Amino acid sequence: MPGERMEFSDMKYSSETNLTNGQKNKQGCYVSTPMGFLMLLLALAIAVGVGIIVHFAGNGRSVVCQCGSADVVPSDPQKLMAACKKQVMDGETGVCAVCKDVTTSPTAEPTTPPKVTDVRIPTDLEPILYTIELQPNMYEGDVKQFTFDGYVRIKMKCVRPTKQVTLQIKALNLTESTLKFEAISGQEPVISKTEYDHEREFVIFHLSEMLVKDRMYSIEMRYVARLKNQLQGLYLSEYKRNNQTVYLAATQLQPTDARAVFPCFDEPAIKAKFDVTLVRKPEKISLSNMPILRNETRSNGFVADIFETSPKMSTYLLAFIVCDFEYKEQVTKRGVMYKAWSTPAAVEQTSYALDVGVKILTYYEDYFNISFPLPKQDMIAIPDFSAGAMENWGLIIYRETAMLYSPRVSSEGNKQRVAVVVSHELAHQWFGDLVTPSWWDDLWLNEGFASFVEYMGVNHVHPEWKMFEQFVVEDLQSVFNFDALVTSHPVYVPVNHPDEINEIFDRISYAKGASIIRMMRFFLGEDTFRKGITKYLKRKEYDAAFHDDLWQALTEQATEDGKSINVKDVMDTWTLQMNYPTIRVTRANANTLKISQSRFLKDPTATDPGKFISTFGYKWDVPFTYTTSSIKNFNQTDADVTWLKKTQTNRMVQSANLPAMGDTNGWIIGNVMQYGFYRVNYDDQNWKALIRQLKTNHAVIHPINRAQIINDAFNLATSGDLSLEIALKTLEYTDKEKDYVPRVAFNREVDQLALMLRKTPMYGAFEAFIKDKIMGIFNEVTMNNTGATHLESYIRSIVASMACDYGVTQCIDESKRLFRQWMQNPNHNPINPGLKSTVYCAAIEHGGVAEWDFAFDQYNKAHVAAEKSRLLSSLSCSTETWIISRYLEWALTPSKIRKQDGLSVVGYISNKPIGQALAWDFFRNRWDDIRRDYGGSFFAFTSLVGRLTKTFNTDFQLSELQHFMDTHPNQGSGTRAFQQAVEKTRVNIKWMKQNSNVIKTWLSSLGL
């Protein structure tokens, strides 16, 4: 599941359920200890009330007798019960009115309690078949509280004798009078006691008799829960159709929210089959993982859609949707019915995703030599979704920007994003769905593989996009920065608490996972890699896997192909320890290279927290490749790999083709095409030879390695392993650079320099340098995007963006002219889609409230999700403090900005010079709201912390950050992000102290 590239409340680990046994509950209505006896006296009355609830649930109505806030305490439990009963009798739906009358008082930030770690469910019982029925109750009137009614029956096999049935549960109000336990044969125990462990999210049913090994049993129950717009579990979404609000229900169950929809064994390795029934109003439709088998009309007029039995699968991959959407369809060559769903107004925008999806699904079937195992594949774009997309088996759910594409409105970037996300999610149908990691510590087996294989799928459909070149800047170089910190983590990382699970939905699991898989594919060779992957998938299909299962399959295949590689020995060094090496390359003599490795850290003096101890001493098995100015071989294979093993302190590489030491123009490049997950450093003589080659004829060096030279040089300068002066000189040739990948590398390093220099006296001279490097190319590509190819459009977009950002007058004036033209005729937008982001931002930055209000009005009117997203980002470009302050408030106001986009807006603002301080203050002031509503939102929450603090480079800013962390210790799933922010700030402070004079001298040498 990619987040937002892919962008993905607070996952409180106590259930929201106000359960009928009267136990204290942190998130429902709860009572103090002195009230306990009173609650016991009320137990019978509450049970009667629940019975009434069940009665009315059968008529499509239900009530949840709980309050919504963790710090709300009802002053009179009898009043609560009476209000609930009256509300049911009045036929209303929602939360009891008494909750609205209870006042709250501000509380101090609580001390963070120790997190439970033993959250794994007992495995004495194995689920065989779930029978699930769900009825979302959505009323298109004025009622603002919604519920859903549920029923589950679990058929189970006893694996070890036990007297307990333990299920995972969250935010569900069980109707205990409906509890039923049965033995399929033999003696029939009864439930003697029900116990709730809120901290672990368990419900434990104690039985009267010991269950017998290998016998079959079943447990069933009914329940009711809130249907909220929290973007987790089964949740409420809405959109406008003909100016009327239309509601829909959708799911996001990964990683631990299936338990918030039905009591279950909610762990990835505990697979079972599922019989699903969704109950809906006749005007709606329903979707789940499997095709509909039949429909039934209920006595209350509702329709029950009964779905075919699923294959054996994990709970987090289930999906349930009730909506009024429409679809387009195709059939693959192997007969899979493929449908693309959206709101009726957007259904024409599904054509591209559908076409790409059909082609890529077929390609994967051929590549893996495994047919797609389900009879249908649905994809659906919904208005509110926390992630970019979710790989539910047979029913992939997308954020609208990740699936919808309109040729006249969407840019080439939007088009590529749709293709990439579709490819990523389809890869999951094999990696994650067919074969699932046995626990979340191997999340990278899902996300790393999907993040690499997505490039294969898109490359199959669009080879002209050069996706494997783009990989280097999109994934490898981007995650290098993340993994250069002592606050990083290994690819394989022990996790227990859901906060910890959510933390690892990060760039390490996705981008580093993808990068080391790409490296492995290279050193094994494509044919061995492909056959080994097929062996792994077929061996573990419909089952759960550990990473050693993959290593075994690949090693066996390598042996069969005559290659002596122990994949586990190699890959353990890349998955079981964090960070990565720098390979130092020097000439020992005219015909010999000396290579050695060391751990790369942005700050080598940083204190290692010791949380993840390397058993390899931060040494890796490194597949080393190189070329030289006399060889110039950038098309290398696994046969060209020289291994530097973790047990070697250095390695002498013999070659008769190395340039003579006396050749002052000779150069060496290590890590050809940057297949390896490592940086390369050289002596100054070689760096200077590379810089001379770039200035003389940069095209001699492959674009990937040109990007590598820039990226490695600046990061080695940050760590102190290379002088910043040499790194700066790698930029001096870039006025001639027209290839996309090295231009992205150039832009990133320049932008980082700008962030550090923005508040210093040197910024004016630095800006003049960038203008000099961009003007020639800007004048050549211009702002006319007509007839451009995909990558030409990309080049034009990034060149224009940089030109406007750094004050090129022609860019700013043209942007203002185009935007005024649009304002004069709002029904005709004259701006090319590939340049919209640049034009919108420049016009708003250099305009006033009229431009801002016009853009916000266009955001509200836009019918293409990509256009709405573009406008949201551009609205952050205003330089009016009051406008940005208003925009920040609107970011957390769902009536203004959809909840899924709230943190993105704060992040956009934090990227702007005037917005950074405002966003940081806003974040601190609204911390409680943000943590509650977005704490479990995967990428969105953690990436915001990084965005807010990425410009911090002073001791004062570090003290502010540290003070906030000290006074707000409960950081939930953002804990690691805050730790990384501190480390990055220290790196920036050190960089500023060491390099300010170097930059000043360099700029002076250029006459600036």
CATH number at residue 451: 1.10.390.10
Ordered DSSP codes for 926-987: THHHHHHHHTT-THHHHHHHHHHHTT--SHHHHHHHHHHHHH----GGGHHHHHHHHHHHHH
H-helix segments, 525-565: 526-540, 547-560
Query: Residue 871 in contact with residue 858, Cβ under 8 Å?
Result: yes
Is the predicted pLDDT of residue 69 greater than 70, yes or no?
no
> How deeply is 416 buried, as exposed, middle or buried, from its count of CB atoms within 10 A (0-12, 13-18, 19+)?
buried
pLDDT tens digit sequence for 572-626: 999 999 999 999 999 888 788 999 999 999 999 998 887 888 999 999 999 999 9
Q: Which residue has the higher pLDDT, 199 or 665?
A: 199
Pick from 98-107, 389-398, 768-777, 904-913: least confident: 98-107
Note whether 643 and 509 are same-domain residues: no
Residue 31 has pLDDT above 60, yes or no: no
Question: pLDDT confidence of 497, banded at 50, 70, 90?
Answer: confident
pLDDT value of residue 970: 83
Q: Give 466 or 112, the one with higher predicted confidence.
A: 466
Q: What is the pLDDT of residue 659?
A: 66
Domain of 904, CATH number, reads 1.25.50.20
Domain assignment present for 831: no
Domain for residue 244, yes or no?
A: no
Averaged over 29-41, what is the pLDDT?
38
3-state secondary structure of 526: helix
For residue 451, pLDDT beyond 80: yes
557 and 435 share one domain: yes
* Euclidean distance between CA atoms 347 and 836, whole angstroms: 23
Of 685, 708, 731, the domain-final residue: 708
User: What type of residue sits at position 414?
Assistant: N
8 Å CB contact between 449 and 387? no
Q: Is 512 helix (H, G, I), strand (E, B) or coil?
A: helix
Kindly state whether residues 481 and 548 are assigned to the same domain: yes
Domain membership of residue 926 (yes or no) is: yes
Q: Is residue 505 part of a domain?
A: yes
- Residues 551, 656, single domain; the answer is no
Residue type, 153: R
Domain end (from 657, 675, 708) = 708
Higher pLDDT, 24 or 82: 82
Q: Are residues 452 and 567 in the same domain?
A: yes
* Residue 978 CB contacts under 8 Å (≥ 6 apart), including other chains: 945, 961, 965, 971
* DSSP type of residue 210: P
Q: Does position 938 have pLDDT exceeding 60, yes or no? A: no
**What share of the chain in percent tops pLDDT 90?**
77
Phi, psi of 125 (to 5 degrees): -120, 145
Q: Which residues are registered as beta bridge partners of 155?
A: 129, 218
When pLDDT is cut at 50, 70 and 90, the band that residue 880 belongs to is: very high
Residue 142 pLDDT greater than 80, yes or no: no
Q: What is the Cβ-side half-sphere exposure of residue 59, based on CA atoms within 13 angstroms?
A: 11
CB atoms within 10 A of CB 335: 10
> Mean pLDDT across the chain, nearest whole number?
88
Q: Which of 7, 16, 267, 425 is catalytic?
A: 425
Catalytic status, residue 133:
no
> What's residue 650's pLDDT?
87
- For 706-715, how does the pLDDT look when each residue is reduced to its tens digit (9 = 90+)? 999 999 999 9
Pairing of strands 216-226, 233-241: unpaired
Element (H, E) at 165: strand 164-168
Which single residue is written with the structure tokens 């007029």?
A: 301
Same structural domain, 679 and 701? yes
Q: Are 156 and 270 in contact (CB under 8 A)?
A: no
Residues 586 and 570 in one domain: no
More confident residue, 687 or 18: 687
Does any domain span residue 751? no
Instruction: Let me know: does 716 contact 722? Beta carbons within 8 Å.
Output: yes
Q: Are 56 and 93 in contact (CB under 8 A)?
A: no
Choosing from 691, 708, 725, the residue where a domain stops is: 708
- Give CA–CA dist 138/140, Å, rounded: 6
* Tally of CB atoms within 10 A around 835: 24
Look at residue 948 and tell me whether its pLDDT is greater than 80.
Answer: yes
| 601 touches 580 (CB < 8 A) | no
Give the confidence band of 92 by pLDDT, cuts at 50, 70, 90.
very low
Domain that holds residue 523: 430-575
**Whether pLDDT at 855 is above 80:** yes
pLDDT band at residue 930, thresholds of 50, 70 and 90?
confident
| The two structure tokens encoding residue 440 | 């979340």
Same domain, yes or no: 620 and 568: no
List pLDDT tens digits, range 781-839: 989 877 889 999 999 999 999 999 999 999 999 999 999 999 999 999 999 999 999 99
131 within domain boundaries: no
The arithmetic mean of pLDDT across residues 763-768, rounded, is: 95
pLDDT tens-digit series, residues 726-745: 999 999 999 999 999 999 99
Count up the domains in the chain and report the number: 3
Dihedral, CA of residue 55, residue 56, residue 58 and residue 61, to nearest 10? -160
| CA angle 757–759–762, rounded 5-degree value | 50
pLDDT at 94: 40
Position 16 pLDDT exceeds 70: no
Residue 326, Cβ density class (10 Å: 0-12 exposed, 13-18 middle, ≥19 buried): middle
Q: Is the pLDDT of residue 682 over 90?
A: yes
**Mean pLDDT within 299-311:** 96
Residues 260-270: what's their mean pLDDT? 98
Token pair recorded at residue 969: 């210790």
Are both 638 and 567 inside the same structural domain?
Answer: no
Please check the confidence at residue 337 and state whether its pLDDT lies above 50: yes
Pair (619, 704) in one structural domain: yes
What does the DSSP assignment read for 613-679? --TT-S---EEE-EEETTT------GGG-EEE-TT-SEEEEE-TTSPPTT-TT--EEESGGG-SSSE
SS3 content of the chain, % helix, strand, coil (to 5): 45, 20, 35
> Is 291's pLDDT higher than 80?
yes
Residue 989 lies in a domain: yes
With residue 476 as reference, give the H or E element that holds it. none
| pLDDT tier at 561, thresholds 50, 70, 90 | very high
The separation between the first and the last C-alpha atoms of the chain, rounded to the nearest angstrom, is: 47
Note whether 539 and 673 are same-domain residues: no
CATH code of 627's domain? 2.60.40.1910
Q: Is residue 759 part of a domain?
A: no
Q: How far is CA 814 from the centre of its chain?
A: 36
At 205, the pLDDT band (50, 70, 90 cuts) reads very high
Q: Is the pLDDT of residue 97 over 50?
A: no
Do 451 and 564 share a structural domain?
yes
- The residues that bridge with 322 in the sheet, in sequence order, are 249, 286
Report the C-alpha gap between 475 and 451 in whole angstroms: 9
